[in-house]
Structure 1
Amino acid sequence: MKNISVIGAGTMGNGIAHTFAQSGFKVSLVDISQENIDLGMATIAKNLDRMIAKERITEDDKTSTLGNITSYLDLKEGVSQADLVVEAATENLDLKLKVFGDMDQFAPAHCILSTNTSSISITQIAAVTKRPDQVIGMHFMNPVPIMKLVEIIRGYSTSDEVTATIMELSKQLGKTPTEVNDYPGFVANRILMPMINEAIETLYHGVAGVEEIDTVMKLGMAHPMGPLQLADFIGLDVCLSILNVMHEGFKNPKYAPCPLLVNMVMAGKKGIKSGEGFYDYATSRKAEVVSKSFL
């Protein structure tokens, strides 16, 4: 594999493009918005500068990485030479089905189609293509350039050959691929999201405050980040979407999102991306406790 197309220049997409480009692959970064592409490329450059400051890479490495990325506003053009496509669009089923239908039409016959979805069925996505055996999940962790894990999710029809290829490719990126099967939430979010949801329930019922809940989990359970701060980092809208997928998929009330989470997302409080969630990020990315009550 030489040519990688990444669909979506947002937080996950630009991180995935950065990782492939830094590993020497030619990357086509595709988005419908030039503003999104510009922001994504600026984020990649900023993250590379951080790596230079930490003496992990050189200025030449930065130049080479950025030189490996070409941006496109047209999906057909952006995937026309791809050996692998990694879809990293918004976590919305209808959007992903539309994107995969188009990618199946425009990408070369040999191309593997993958999705960075954190919860949506690979089998359902693959069903809109004429190559379901070549569709697979590549769930990278955020921030992509730093986190080692990649969940490799096999759909019902994903071939052994495609799975082996993507497992090996992930290793070439310096990642640790872990193969899982196609059920709502896969492994990472099936375990993580109920914990985050329970932390929100604990706040909702007034058992403790935001800082107290996060402190208990950091100091008592050795978590590097408390669940409420982590939810802000992931995006409260993303957390809600994943919980809804699991609730619908399993029909089990234990996955029902907390009403507080639902209300915060409806109010536009989505965490770092909106400037406020359980913490206030108005002045910087540093978490400051929101002064108002959540009850």
Structure 2
Amino acid sequence: MSIKNITVLGSGVMGHGIAQVSAMSGYNVVLRDIEQQFLDKAMEKIKWSLEKLVTKQKITLAESDAIFARITTKVDLKEAVKDADMVIEAVPEIMDLKMKVYAELDKVADSNVIFASNTSTLPITEIANTTSRPDKFVGIHFFNPPQLMKLVEVIPGQKTDPQIVQATVDYVRSVKKEPVICKRDVPGFIVNRLFIPMVHEACWLKQRQNLTLEQIDSAVKFRMGFPMGIFELADFTGMDVIHKATIELHLRDKKVIFPHPEIERLYNEKKLGQKSGEGFYKYSDEKYERVQLDEGLASKCNPIQLVANIVNNAAWLVTNKASDIEEIEKAAQLGLGLKKPIFETAREFGMKNIVSELAELAKKHGQFYEPDPLLVSMQ
């Protein structure tokens, strides 16, 4: 199955990033959006990004020009997919919008074209079943920004042909990214199943133990091997993204997430994190400044509840045959920037301690916390 021509639908941050990395690896790319002004803006951003690579001597000026020339823009959908081998859809994470796009796309695309949805939480099978080709439909979750992030989750739907999965994995490798296959179309796939529930769990920990944001974040950074604190990471990601993902996850599986009202409150108050100047923390208008975290603050917080949360969700993925420990660790390292494996951190805290922490929390706060059978067997 040879893929030479890629059409990317949606020219936002994800769309133009995917278009750029594809063109950099020699693909002919058509970038499509509903208005030419959006496309012009996206092409300016791609040009700027390529110029930076030239300045840093990562590519030559001639290479930059050749890459840029491989991307064409189109507003007409039929025109945009005329020669496509694969269509990567990167429109906003709104189910109705995606379904509307696929209804139009299905009518105009050749029956052999692979449909790949760049979604971080929406159910692949559900979207695939709205098309006439669920066997040629796959999830492809690039991380933000696609130019820099190495990880791409590949998610087959229930009817996806294994050959399509393989062709998608080959494409991901060809654009110099690391694919991780989420073998089942489960809520949150791999990375968001670990990350989003942990943000809520950190809010519960803060409330239950009356800790400060900085104490929890320091413990997450210095004792759990995260590149930054969990609240810091949430602000970096954006409360709009987290809130939307929370709704999707909770809708599909009550066991994956125990929503804390704080996320919805921040979202409703438009405190979206760095992008709005305030989220959990406040940010000045100048350049991004890191929150001051240290080991002294870390000693004030025992993050076992957070370790238990992330490892319990990781164990769920294994038990439910969505992934295995090795792939989960690879995804966490590349997608969340973890400096040490989740299960290694869990062993440092003691599996017995973690299971009893979860059992205790389940007694107080309900079955959400029940330990996964895999963790129970690892004691």
Counting strand residues as a fraction of each chain, which structure ranks higher? 1
Give the deviation of 1:269 after TM superposition: 2.3
Secondary structure at the counterpart of residue 255 of structure 1:
coil
Q: Which residue among 223, 226, 240 is the counterpart of 2:226? A: 223
Give 1:247 deviation, angstroms: 0.8
Contact 2:201/2:258, CA 8 A, preserved across alignment: no
Tell whether 2:197 aligns with 1:194.
Answer: yes
Return 5+ residue gaps in structure 1 as ranges.
290-295
SS in 2 for 1:151: strand
What residue is the counterpart of 1:293 in the other structure?
none
Say whether the 8 Å CA contact 2:155–2:189 is kept in structure 1.
yes
* Match of residue 145, structure 1, among 140, 144, 147: 147
- What is the 5 A alignment of 1:1-295? 1-180=3-182, 181-203=184-206, 207-252=210-255, 255-281=257-283, 283-287=285-289
Query: Share of identical aligned residues, percent?
Result: 39
AA of the residue aligned to 1:95: L
User: Could you list the per-position Cα deviations for residues 20-55 of structure 1 after superposition, in whole angstroms to 9, with x for gaps in the alignment?
Assistant: 011111111112244432332232223223333332
TM-superposed CA distance for 1:111, in Å, is 0.6
What amino acid sits opposite 1:213 in the alignment?
I
Q: What amino acid is the match of 1:111?
A: V
Q: Given the superposition, is the C-alpha separation of residues 40 and 60 from structure 1 closer, same or farther in structure 2, using an over 3 Å criterion?
A: same
- Contact 2:272 / 2:279 at 8 angstroms: preserved in 1? yes
Which TM-score applies when normalising by structure 1? 0.89
Please identify, of 93-102 and 28-37, the stretch whose mean Cα deviation from structure 2 is larger: 28-37
Provide the rounded CA distance (Å) in 2 between the counterparts of 1:265 and 1:91.
16
Q: Aligned-pair distance for 1:243? A: 1.4
Deviations for 1:61-107, whole angstroms, at most 9, x for unmatched residues? Answer: 22222211112223232222211111111111111111111111111
TM-superposed CA distance for 1:213, in Å, is 3.1
Please state how far the C-alpha of 1:283 moved relative to its aligned partner.
2.2
Separation of aligned partners in 1, 2:138 and 2:76: 23
Q: Which moved more, 1:6-15 or 1:149-158?
A: 6-15
1:166 Cα deviation from its structure 2 partner: 0.7
Q: How many residues align?
A: 288
CA distance in 2, matches of 1:72, 1:108: 17
TM-superposed deviation, 1:147: 1.6
The more displaced of 220-229 and 272-281 is 272-281
RMSD over aligned Cα, in angstroms? 2.1
Q: 1:239 Cα deviation (Å)?
A: 1.1
Distance 2:280 2:287 in 1: 13
- The secondary structure found in structure 1 opposite 2:138 is strand
For structure 1, which segment, 145-154 or 216-225, has the greater mean C-alpha deviation from structure 2 after superposition? 216-225
Output the CA distance in 1 between the equivalents of 2:221 and 2:109. 45
CA contact (8 A) 1:244 1:255 kept: no
